[in-house]
Amino acid sequence: MTGFATKGSAALVILAAALLLPGAPFALAQDRFPPPAPERSAVRPSVIVPVPQPFTLNAYDATQALWLVRRSPLLQRWVPGEPRRNIMVREVRAVLVAIDEDAPTPALRPRYDLWVNGAPLDWDHTFIEYGRSMVNLRLLFTYRNQYPPTALRFRIPDDAM
């Protein structure tokens, strides 16, 4: 068996040399093969995508938001100048509210809104505990390539009522 492996290995080396060394009798001509295609990047240049108005979620983000709200059953509603109001979450569900025909992919066309305790969620003024602070829910589901509204409060300040 050792002799066979040695003979086979030697034959492979001779064949490779005959095909690949320039000037060898059976050398592969380089012009027979087209040059490799230039690499295409899978990442497109980033563009700013408009935020849907009114604010809605795609199916994936709606599922994530449902999970997040169900795991943290206490939300807070805060409007600057008014006292905070706790919202005890008894029921949360996603409701299909629109089909966006201008969405870049079919997966982003169905648009959902969250309903908490039978009423639509006020995305701009509802906060959830996230990372040991009260963070705006809309901010958590705004993409990196979207601008959040300029008046949107990202967190509830410590000195808020």
Q: What is the dihedral of CA 86, 153, 138, 126, to 10 degrees?
A: 10
- Output the pLDDT for position 118: 95
Query: What pLDDT digit, counting tens, does each position of 45-79 carry?
Result: 666 666 777 889 999 999 999 999 999 888 999 88
**Which of 27-36, 53-62, 120-129 has the weakest average pLDDT?**
27-36
- Compute the CA torsion angle 49, 55, 58, 63 (nearest 10 deg): 140
pLDDT of 1 > 60? The answer is no
Whether 3 shows a pLDDT value over 60: the answer reads: no
151 or 43: which carries more pLDDT confidence?
A: 151
Quote the radius of gyration of the chain (alpha carbons, Å): 30
Q: Do residues 139 and 155 touch, judged by C-beta distance below 8 A?
A: no
Of all residues in the chain, the percent with pLDDT exceeding 70 is: 65
pTM for this entry: 0.64
- For residue 36, is the peptide bond before it cis, meaning its omega torsion is within 30 degrees of 0? no
Q: Between vectors from CA 154 to CA 85 and to CA 158, what angle results, nearest 5°? A: 60
What mean pLDDT is predicted for residues 107-114? 92
CA distances from 73 to 4, 101, 116, 141 (A): 72, 34, 10, 18
Give the Cβ contact number of residue 142 at 10 Å: 18
The one-letter amino acid code at 18 reads A
